[in-house]
Structure 1
């Protein structure tokens, strides 16, 4: 399992447009083979900060997602909403044991 956190800092003046645009990405990504969860979370401390939390069955599923039309379309439009570079971190979905 692969877990991805994508941090987005949104231009406050474009927040509503961003939320409308990202809705399609979320809905279509949830339909993809290998997707377990795809959720946008709003930061409780920063008004314009969001985190996309994605859970995928495998790295192959993540790679296929990266080639999907809805993902590529969102990536192309995202810079008009962002006020800082996207921060993406991916993790193995297994608890680390000592």
Structure 2
């Protein structure tokens, strides 16, 4: 399982436009066969900071996602909303045995 955290620091005046634009990415991504979950979280301590938490079945699914029309469309527009560069962290998740 692949887990991705993408942190967005938004320009104050661009928050609403960002939220409208990212809805299309969320909807499209959730429809992909390799997607387990795709959720946008708002930071409770920092204003205008959001984290996308993505869970994918495997790396092939992530690669396919990165070629999708909804992903390419969003990435092409994302920089106009950001106050600083996107911070992306990728993790390999494995089941923890009890």
Same fold (TM over 0.5): yes
1:33 Cα deviation after fit: 1.2
Matched residues, number: 97
Q: In 2, distance between residues paired with 1:57 and 1:95?
A: 12
1:94 Cα deviation after fit: 1.5
The corresponding residue for 1:14 is 14
After TM superposition, the structure 1 = structure 2 runs for residues 5-84 of structure 1, keeping only pairs within 5 Å, are 5-84=5-84
Q: C-alpha deviations, 1:8-39, integer Å up to 9, x for none?
A: 00111010000000000000100001000000
1:95 Cα deviation after fit: 5.5
RMSD of Structure 2 on Structure 1 (CA): 1.2
Q: In 2, distance between residues paired with 1:79 and 1:57?
A: 28
Q: Which residues of structure 1 form unaligned runs of 5+?
A: none
Q: In 1, distance between residues paired with 2:35 and 2:7?
A: 19
The corresponding residue for 1:85 is 85
> Which consecutive aligned stretches of 4+ in structure 1 deviate over 2 angstroms post-superposition?
none
The alignment's TM-score, normalised by the length of structure 1, stands at 0.95
Q: Which residues of structure 2 form unaligned runs of 5+?
A: none
1:96 Cα deviation after fit: 7.2
The alignment's TM-score, normalised by the length of structure 2, stands at 0.95
